[in-house]
């Protein structure tokens, strides 16, 4: 593409690619674009209509594994910087442009944070653009402003040293399966709020403006329920469905087990039980604080005579960019010019490595994605709409000039 620096950075797993192209303007801001080059496995026999790793164009769509997630959305930046230079007559971008394309996103980015920490000086930026997200729909261009964090754990409960007879001992010794059920029942109050003391400490509440902007999206709850394969909505009282999945913290039971699981009955008091929990976190929440709060809460719930241990996995911090941030305004203007339509705002209910970039580099994270829900990430016949891919190119081309022009206008 013309980047003056291109390097492969090794990790204990798959390598990452780094590229840099400095502006000829000494006052230019520095922007880092994040994406990933790895994809989910795919084979023709999974239900593909064509070979998944041989791109095919049909009816204005490009079908291939990674077409949307995430090779296509990395690719449009390479075309975008070319268009930016061609349209402006520049020989270097209007910003100091860096790309970091990792190779392990689909396996949880196990080595990504260490990679960012190792190369933090090389990756230093005023803003980060993450192009591994999507839009609301083809005719409703949107910019994501935040992504929830994640903490998850397994609570293991131990009672008798072995399974024992429920007739001989039932009602006289504590049952770990009953303790597991009690833990699950105590996780939420009657308003579906998380009942762990301290869980909501420090969270950034939704503003009236953000709630109004969410409400402007063409959200059809019945259609959403069909996608969710569910028959009713449920969640924290006082919030809409979109607010619950984008901007409110949650606690979910991912698994619960213990005792006899086979056919028929087996009248025992089991010796062990377990509960798997996950917590989606919003801006202002700290995974370390959540871990301490959950440990203290569980210790209060578990009855005497039941030993327990809690194992937490790796956590992901939430990230959120204020609506008035100058870099976000540049993304909105660039997308608005490309799509010739008003740009609305969303958040992501899931989690990803964006928070590591924000935390280690101390830079705001913006999301620029052009994929739509029908693209079928991780599914057979994954595709990208070619007209939207080109809109991504155009947005990228406008973005660098806008950032270069307006970055220093911000108060």
For position 3, what pLDDT does the model report? 96
Instruction: Give the containing element (helix H, strand E) for 153.
Output: strand 149-158
As to burial, measured by CB atoms within 10 angstroms (0-12 exposed, 13-18 middle, 19+ buried), residue 239 is middle
Class of domain 149-203+249-312: alpha beta
pLDDT per 10-residue tile (average), the chain, 411 residues: 96 98 96 97 96 97 97 96 96 97 92 96 96 93 93 97 96 97 98 98 96 95 92 97 97 97 96 98 95 98 97 90 92 96 92 86 93 94 97 97 84 50
Per CATH, which fold does 5-146+319-409 belong to? Answer: Aminopeptidase (3.40.630)
For position 315, what pLDDT does the model report? 87
Taking alpha carbons only, the member of 198, 190, 204 closest to residue 294 is 198
User: Residue 238 and residue 234: Cα distance in Å, rounded?
Assistant: 11
Domains 5-146+319-409 and 149-203+249-312 share a fold: no
Report the Cα 377 to chain-centroid distance in Å.
14
For position 410, what pLDDT does the model report? 56
Q: Would you state the structure tokens that stand for residue 270, as one six-digit string?
A: 């089991």
For position 260, what pLDDT does the model report? 95
For position 83, what pLDDT does the model report? 97
Q: Where are the domains of the chain?
A: 5-146+319-409, 149-203+249-312
For position 232, what pLDDT does the model report? 96
Helix H, strand E, coil C: the string for 185-218 is HCCECCCCCECCCCCCCCCCCCCHHHHHHHHCCC
């Amino acid at each position: 593409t013309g980047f003056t620096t291109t390097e492969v950075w090794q990790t204990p797993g798959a390598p990452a690619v780094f590229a840099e192209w400095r502006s000829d303007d000494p006052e230019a801001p520095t922007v880092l674009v994040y994406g990933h080059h790895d994809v989910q496995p795919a084979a023709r026999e999974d239900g593909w209509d064509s070979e998944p790793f041989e791109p095919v164009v049909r009816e204005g769509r490009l079908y291939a594994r990674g077409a949307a997630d995430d090779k296509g959305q990395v690719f449009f930046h390479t075309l975008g910087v070319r268009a930016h230079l061609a349209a402006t007559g520049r020989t270097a971008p209007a910003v100091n442009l860096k790309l970091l394309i990792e190779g392990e996103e689909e396996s949880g980015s196990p080595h990504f944070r260490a990679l960012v920490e190792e190369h933090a000086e090389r990756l230093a930026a005023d803003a980060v653009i993450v192009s591994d997200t999507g839009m609301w729909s083809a005719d409703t261009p949107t910019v994501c402003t935040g992504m929830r964090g994640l903490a998850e754990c397994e609570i293991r409960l131990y009672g008798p040293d072995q399974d024992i007879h429920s007739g001989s001992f039932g009602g006289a010794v504590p049952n770990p399966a009953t303790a597991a059920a009690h833990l699950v029942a105590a996780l939420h109050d009657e308003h579906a709020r998380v009942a762990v003391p301290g869980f909501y400490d420090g969270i950034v509440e939704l503003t009236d403006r953000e709630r109004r902007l969410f409400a402007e999206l063409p959200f059809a709850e019945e259609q959403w329920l069909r996608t969710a394969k569910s028959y009713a909505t449920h969640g924290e009282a006082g919030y809409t469905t979109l607010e619950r999945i984008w901007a409110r913290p949650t606690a979910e039971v991912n698994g619960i087990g213990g005792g006899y699981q086979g056919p028929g009955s087996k009248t025992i008091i089991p010796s062990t039980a377990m509960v798997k929990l996950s917590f989606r976190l919003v801006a202002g929440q700290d995974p370390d604080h959540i871990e301490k709060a959950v440990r203290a809460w569980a210790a209060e719930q578990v009855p005497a005579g039941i030993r327990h241990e809690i194992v937490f996995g790796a956590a992901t911090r939430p990230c959120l960019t204020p609506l008035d941030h100058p870099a976000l305004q540049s993304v909105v203007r660039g997308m608005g010019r490309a799509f010739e339509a008003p740009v609305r705002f969303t958040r992501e209910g899931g989690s990803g490595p964006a928070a590591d970039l924000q935390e280690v580099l101390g830079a705001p994270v913006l999301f620029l994605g052009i994929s739509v829900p029908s693209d079928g990430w991780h599914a057979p016949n994954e595709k990208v709409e070619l007209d939207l891919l080109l809109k991504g190119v155009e947005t990228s081309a406008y973005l660098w000039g806008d950032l270069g022009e307006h970055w220093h206008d911000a108060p």
